[in-house]
Chains A and B, each alone.
Chain A
Amino acid sequence: MNPHAHDPLMRDVLSEGSDFETSSLDLTLQEVRRRRGRRRQRTAILGVIAVAILTFACLVREPNQSERRMAPDVAVTSPSVALVHTTVGSLEIVHTMTGDFSVIDTPVVASSALEIADEQLFSLLGERTGAIVRSKNGRAAFLLVDTDQRPESRPH
């Protein structure tokens, strides 16, 4: 826009006796503020919707392959070791299996183990018979009588 020499005079002539220019500017700025407020409101609503969609998606989707818990690595593999199984009072007294076995080191999961008192342990046995044997070095072993393997009539 090329400024004209008579622009100031024209401005004063047109605004003579009124404050229309000021009131027009005020109304224009009001509209600018209103538009800005609406834009902010729209952005906030879109943000809330996006968060809601993400939350919903996280809740309903299945864990993918990478998130599944991996089995622990095999820590030790011992070759040529025999497993011996002994049944008291049955025909088969000793059963020996040869072959490899693996010792698997599993992580300790605090929430998966519950420490209980001796009395609570015995109450879990019901009709079955068991005992806790403590040695002098502080170790303890829990013995449980297997009623299925007990001979009904032992010959004397």
Chain B
Amino acid sequence: MQDELCAPPTPVGVLTARMKCGDEGAWREFHGRYFQRLLSYLLVLSRGQEDTARDALQATMIRAVRHIRRFETEDALWKWLAVLARTAFLDEVRRRRRYRSMLDRLFHRESALPADLDPFAGDRLMALLESNLASLPEKDRALLEQKYIARESVRAIAGVAGTTEKAVESRLVRLRRQLRTLMLDQLNKL
């Protein structure tokens, strides 16, 4: 107890304390840090259903604003967020199911709830990204790695490749869309 009282505040402790006070800067920082992780988690839970994942994500953020409290560790904060995301997702599924129940009965289709609610299920999306990245042609993979791993600018990549920046941007957009489609399809088949 004495050790806890004397322990210096952790970065997560400071961030969550500021969030509790309604500090907008802290909420921006939190959103920047957790948006992608929560979306990945919810995409896995929803098996690639983007609309469901997005609505559940926004509901999670609103619940976080309403119920935020101080957390001292990253792990504790993430587990709490995962619980909020899971309940928001289940509420969203139930809400959508009411509208789709007639169609489900018509096609004898089951709108099953996800069996796996592991808080680290979102890591699977990263695994899918890596496997899909590995399956791309060498030239495309090299372009993505230059941009996202080596952090080279589009101008530098275009200069080396002897092409225009616009052409490089177009290739990057096409590759990102291709990866996205592959990942969401794979999630849907899980």
Chain A residues within CB distance 8 Å of chain B: 1, 4-14, 16-17, 20-21, 24-25, 27-29, 31-33, 35-36, 39
**Apart from the given pairs A9-B144, A16-B173, A24-B61, 14 other A-B contacts in the complex at a CB distance below 8 Å:** A5-B149, A6-B126, A6-B129, A8-B148, A13-B176, A13-B180, A16-B177, A24-B58, A25-B31, A25-B35, A28-B27, A28-B31, A28-B65, A35-B65
Residues of A within 8 A of B183 (CB): 13
* CA–CA, A153 and B171, complex, Å: 139
Summed over the interface, the residue pairs from A and B with CB atoms below 8 Å come to a total of: 83
B66, B144, B148 interface centre (most CB from chain A within 10 Å): B148
Q: Tell me whether A16 and B180 are in contact in the complex, defined as CB-CB below 8 angstroms, given that A4-B126, A24-B58 are known contacts.
A: yes
Known: A28-B31, A32-B65. A14 touches B22 (CB 8 A): no
> Do residues A24 and B35 form an inter-chain contact, with CB atoms below 8 A?
yes
A5 CB contacts on chain B under 8 angstroms: 149
Binding site for A on B (CB under 8 A): 22, 24, 27-28, 31, 33, 35-37, 39-40, 43, 54, 57-58, 61-62, 64-66, 74, 78, 125-126, 129-130, 133, 144, 147-149, 173, 176-177, 179-180, 183
Whether A10 contacts B66 by the Cβ 8 Å rule is no
Contacts of A27 in B (CB 8 A): 58, 61-62
CB distance from B148 to the nearest CB of A (A): 4
The interface residues of chain A, by DSSP majority, are classed as: helix
Question: A21 — which chain B residues lie within 8 A by C-beta?
Answer: 35
Is the Cβ of B125 less than 8 Å from the Cβ of A10? Answer: yes
| Chain A residues within an 8 Å CB radius of B130 | 6
Query: Chain B residues near A14 (CB, 8 Å)?
Result: 36, 39-40, 43, 180
In the complex, are the beta carbons of A32 and B176 less than 8 A apart?
no
B127 CB to nearest chain A CB (Å): 10
> At the interface, is chain B mostly helix, strand, loop or mixed?
helix
- Determine the residue in chain A with the shortest Cβ distance to B57: A24
**What's the nearest-Cβ distance from chain B to residue A43, in Å?**
12
**CB-defined contacts of B173 to chain A, threshold 8 Å:** 16
Residues in A with CB closer than 8 Å to B33 are 1
The answer to whether B176 touches A12 (Cβ under 8 A) is: yes
In the assembled complex, the Cα of A93 lies from the Cα of B181 at a distance in Å of 129
Whether A6 and B133, one on each chain, are in contact in the complex, defined by CB atoms closer than 8 angstroms, is yes
B144 to chain A, nearest CB (A): 6
Please state if A28 and B57 are interface contacts (CB–CB under 8 Å). Answer: no
Q: Which of A16, A25, A33, A39 is in CB contact (< 8 Å) with B176?
A: A16
Distance A31 CA – B66 CA, assembled complex (angstroms): 8
CB distance from A152 to the nearest CB of B (A): 93
Instruction: Determine if B148 and A9 form an interchain contact, defined as CB atoms under 8 angstroms apart.
Output: yes
B22 touches A35 (CB 8 A): yes
- Find out whether the CB atom of B28 lies under 8 angstroms from the CB atom of A29: yes
Do residues A10 and B35 form an inter-chain contact, with CB atoms below 8 A? no
Kindly list chain B residues whose C-beta atoms are within 8 Å of the C-beta of A32.
22, 24, 27, 65
- Chain A nearest CB from B24 CB (Å) reads 6
Closest to A12 in B: B176
Return 21 A-B CB contacts under 8 Å, by A number. A6-B126, A6-B148, A6-B149, A9-B133, A9-B144, A9-B148, A9-B179, A10-B36, A10-B40, A10-B125, A10-B129, A11-B36, A14-B36, A16-B180, A17-B177, A24-B58, A27-B58, A27-B61, A28-B62, A31-B61, A32-B65
